[in-house]
Amino acid sequence: MFNVADSPLNGNVPEGSVQEKWDKHRFNVKLVNPANKRKYSVIVVGTGLAGGSAAASLAELGYNVKSFCVQDSPRRAHSIAAQGGINAAKNYPNDGDSVWRLFYDTVKGGDYRSREANVYRLAQVSNYIIDQCVSQGVPFAREYGGTLANRSFGGAQVSRTFYCRGQTGQQLLLGAYQALQRQVNASKVKMFTRREMLDIIVIDGQARGIITRNLTTGKFETHVADAVVLATGGYGNVFYLSTNAKSCNVTAAWRAHKRGAYFANPCYTQIHPTCIPTSGDYQSKLTLMSESLRNDGRVWVPKNADEARKPEDIPEEDRDYYLERRYPAFGNLVPRDVASRAAKERCDAGYGVGETGFAVFLDFRDAIKRDGEDTVRKKYGNLFHMYHKITDDDPYKVPMRIYPAVHYTMGGLWVDYNLQSNLPGLFVLGEANFSDHGANRLGASALMQGLADGYFVIPYTIGNHLAKMEPGGISTDQPECKEALANATGRVNKLLSIGGGRSADSFHRELGKIMWEYCGMARNDAGLKTAAGKISELRDEFWSDLYVPGAGESFNQSLEHAGRVADFLEFAELFAIDAMHRKESCGGHFREEHQSAANDEDVKSGKISEGEAKRDDENFAYAAAWEFNGVGEKPSLHKEHLEFNDVQLATRSYK
């Protein structure tokens, strides 16, 4: 199924203690002097929190930036959907937080599959992010006395999450957007909206440009620069149904992968425990109910599998608050992978609620009794409103019904400590890279990572790359540019020419079902093999029976979608191979063959229960970075070994 490369992959982590690495590195990296910065140009693809903050910061430094997004406005990037909050180690509540604790919680939360040095840096710069956003005027929630308020998220026993009600992503994105627009106004950023990146231009082994298609006119464009930054978000929509915006895709990352960038840990997917359950085959989207709700909401199912009473009539003694029962130390605030699997376990055992039996209750009865409806409304009003609108149930009166759904992807393009891929000149930020969350991301840490990458990391590390090269010197007439353009146009023409009988959406839906059934919350070897085979068959069918209406040189959303589905169909096979090769359970990757058993020492000692994810540190403490060798060909596996010098490898316990 795959080859293993001989030499290990180097993450280029600087020497020194984990606390000093970033400071020393910033001193050691080469600088581009202010007068020279204006000679360099950088392409930034993506205007979400990662790309928007990067483009604004690079332009502020003096670089010439070209910024691209598929939406009609940069501020419609998917980041706008983020609800619950952003982490930082400010320790305003004085409840025991610190940079070290955020670092520790994130490494542990990721089930010890992330690079320590990156995570420490993330915790370090988290505090600057809050200062930066407050300066921009982001309206974070405040306490009565005016200090910024915090709430708790999963995997932490402190309150470190800053929030703007249930609209944190929107407010942060408006902050980044205004910083970006300031630079557009200053002519340092040239904005290209409704552009889809369809290829990377590689010249002399370096990323030097991109090919885009104008989604309004259908025209192709060639753009060259001195470096390319991809901040194109996650690929959760490979499952078809997810909480992601419909436009989220893998295209930019996958096309870069096909040009040589390694794809790391593609199987690491986050299934979020609290989403509105699927209600039928007609659905094309799932809706998240923010993790912040678990601050006050209690998760339960009836103790009797054949319970027929209404939830509000079920007395306390007949309710199973299974998270509080199984994980008393963290209770309802266990990390997402743990909470999702626990919900699945209860539903599979026959205790699920609702018409399908695939739902559990998230109940605010006690919080409303304790704090009053007004207080609950102030904290979560817009989320309750959204739930009410979608389900027609009033969560102030009856418990919400929730079930896990695909939400976030920890895998992504492999990057080193500088956020540079193995393809020199190609930097990858935000959800599009694999960097900081290991096998499971803690809630409120994606916004933190996207903004850390864009505001505080890339401004230093890209300079180190640019300082070593002469600016410019590339023309769009060069053969490499023409070849990339021909490649992108050829693929679009091929999609249009098939003339079969099925829509791209029907293929996508079928792919999603395969992914959910065999690569979802629980995976096993036989199922993953089946998935890889089915995906490959479906891909063949796609290329012989796809029907795309309309023309290429016009606005054609069916064509856009077809291109993205084609990439998902190639990517999904790598996903299954990665999941198959990782013969351990870790974080969001749960292999049924690898779970704790009654005779394990940690189970006997009471540290964990039976049936928890069981890692294999001896054989799998590495990031799996895959090299592309052709569609349907065996990929090559490059291993970056992960060292744990500051957080001791241990069995994760939230008891």
Ligand X SMILES: Cc1cc2nc3c(=O)[nH]c(=O)nc-3n(C[C@H](O)[C@H](O)[C@H](O)COP(=O)(O)OP(=O)(O)OC[C@H]3O[C@@H](n4cnc5c(N)ncnc54)[C@H](O)[C@@H]3O)c2cc1C
Active site residues: 336
- Using the contact rule CB under 6 A, the part of the chain among 7-15, 24-32, 361-369, 427-435 near ligand X is 427-435
Among 159, 249, 420, 556, binds ligand X (CB under 6 A): 249
The SS3 of residue 162 is strand
Give whichever of 48 and 352 is closer to ligand X, judged by the CB atom: 48
Give whichever of 41 and 83 is closer to ligand X, judged by the CB atom: 83
Give whichever of 87 and 585 is closer to ligand X, judged by the CB atom: 87
Per residue in 359-386, is it b (16+ CB within 10 Å) or e — as a string? Answer: bbbbbbbebbeeeeeeebeebbeebbeb
Residue type, 173: L
Is 435 a binding residue for ligand X by CB under 6 A? The answer is: no
DSSP annotation of 358 reads: -
Residue 463 to residue 33: CA distance in whole angstroms: 9
Which tokens is 644 given? 């744990």
Give whichever of 246 and 655 is closer to ligand X, judged by the CB atom: 246
Give the other-Cβ count within 10 Å of 529's Cβ: 15
Is 569 a binding residue for ligand X by CB under 6 A? The answer is: no
Residue type, 446: A
Is 430 a binding residue for ligand X by CB under 6 A? The answer is: yes
Is 231 a binding residue for ligand X by CB under 6 A? The answer is: yes
Residue 405 to residue 521: CA distance in whole angstroms: 9
Is 51 a binding residue for ligand X by CB under 6 A? The answer is: yes
Q: Least distance to ligand X from the beta carbon of 607, Å?
A: 29
Is 149 a binding residue for ligand X by CB under 6 A? The answer is: no
Number of residues lying near ligand X (CB under 6 A): 46
Give whichever of 50 and 624 is closer to ligand X, judged by the CB atom: 50
- Using the contact rule CB under 6 A, the part of the chain among 90-98, 226-234, 372-380, 581-589 near ligand X is 226-234
Among 50, 61, 191, 415, binds ligand X (CB under 6 A): 50
Residues written for the chain: 655
Q: Least distance to ligand X from the beta carbon of 564, Å?
A: 8
Residue 402 to residue 354: CA distance in whole angstroms: 10
Judged by phi (left if over 0) then psi (alpha if -120 to 50, else beta), residue 44 lies in beta
- Cα-based angle 232, 33, 453 (whole degrees, multiple of 5): 25
Give whichever of 182 and 194 is closer to ligand X, judged by the CB atom: 194
Per residue in 551-562, is it b (16+ CB within 10 Å) or e — as a string? Answer: ebeeebebbbbb
Q: Least distance to ligand X from the beta carbon of 443, Å?
A: 6
Is 412 a binding residue for ligand X by CB under 6 A? The answer is: no
Q: Least distance to ligand X from the beta carbon of 291, Å?
A: 7
x/- mask, ligand X, residues 164-183, rule CB under 6 A, reads: ----xx--------------
Report the 3 state secondary structure along 496-550.
HHCCCCECHHHHHHHHHHHHHHHHCCCECHHHHHHHHHHHHHHHHHHHHHECCCC
Give whichever of 248 and 625 is closer to ligand X, judged by the CB atom: 248
Among 57, 114, 170, 232, binds ligand X (CB under 6 A): 232
43, containing H or E segment: strand 41-45
- Using the contact rule CB under 6 A, the part of the chain among 14-22, 44-52, 177-185, 499-507 near ligand X is 44-52
Q: What are the two backbone dihedrals, phi and then psi, of residue 33, each rounded to the nearest 5 degrees?
A: -70, 155
The residues binding ligand X (CB under 6 A) are 45-51, 68-71, 77-79, 81-86, 168-169, 195-197, 231-234, 243-244, 248-249, 251-252, 288, 407-408, 430-432, 444-447, 450
